[in-house]
Amino acid sequence: MQVAGQRETQLNLEGVAIGKVVDFDPESDQLYTFDLTANNTAITPEILEDTTTFSTWVADELNAHHARYGIGGYDEHRTIYARSHHFDTAEEPRRLHLGIDIWGPAGTPVYNFHDAVVHSFKFNDQYGDYGATIILKYNLNGQIFHALYGHLSLDSLTGLEEGQHIPMGKAFARFGIPEENGFWPPHLHFQLIFNIYAFKGDYPGVCQYSKKAAFLGNSPDPAPILKHTFKSALI
């Protein structure tokens, strides 16, 4: 896939009300930043090759840091994608993460941060893929962009229709179990996309490092949205 240069590279959120994406109380809840690069030598091949073991490792890390959620990943070069052939390409493997992940228990509600319509949805069931996925379309200050919500529960897709209105504040999805989320530890992949091209229910969440500039230009950092969820917590 070729991604052309984008005219827009950042969000315009001035004067826009932004809601939460997940439940979080900054007065009592903690947020832990995961490092999923090669620098984190605690993530061994034995952990990655088994989804149950990987899920236990994530849960243990959250418990050890008294954190409700783990977070991280935007513009992060992750060697963990070697666990799935889904990220292999002939010329160069895909390793650069284009969204932010929120790690937490399966069943965690996902809320819409602003009024939107359903662009598309799909069950991407290949090992290592998104699993159940919803893409919402937003218009903020005349700026149109999309948000991809990946690794959801399969029942999050039930009753959806393209063009359906999803109001701000609605709990419209949940974190999926591994069998529904592409065989990952439960988490939400949250990614913003300016030009969705012809994709339906899917868009690359990981790219080749050599194509970093083009893909990051089309998928801006979601932190300005998520800071409204986590308030003073570091993201």
Sketch the domain layout of the chain as residue ranges.
31-230
Question: What pLDDT, on the 0 to 100 scale, is given for residue 98?
Answer: 97
Question: What pLDDT, on the 0 to 100 scale, is given for residue 4?
Answer: 46
Question: What pLDDT, on the 0 to 100 scale, is given for residue 232?
Answer: 65
Q: Read off the pLDDT of residues 105-150 as tens digits, 9 standing for 90 and up.
A: 999 999 999 999 999 999 999 999 999 999 999 999 899 999 999 9
SS3 of the chain: CCCCCCCCCCCCCCCCCCCCCCCCCCCCCCEEECCCCCCCCCCCHHHHCCHHHHHHHHHHHHHHCCCCEEEECCCEECHHHHHCHHHCCCCCCCCEECCEEEECCCCCEEECCCCEEEEEEEEECCCCCCEEEEEEEEEECCEEEEEEEEEECHHHHCCCCCCCEECCCCEEEEECCCCCCCCCCCEEEEEEECCCCCCCCCCCCEECHHHHHHHHHHCCCCHHHHHHHHCCCCC
- The topology (CATH level 3) of 31-230 is Glucose Permease (Domain IIA) (2.70.70)
Question: What pLDDT, on the 0 to 100 scale, is given for residue 233?
Answer: 63
Mean pLDDT by runs of 10 across the 235 residues of the chain is 53 93 96 93 92 97 97 90 73 89 98 98 95 97 96 98 98 98 97 97 94 96 95 68
Question: What pLDDT, on the 0 to 100 scale, is given for residue 152?
Answer: 98
Q: What is the pTM of this model?
A: 0.93
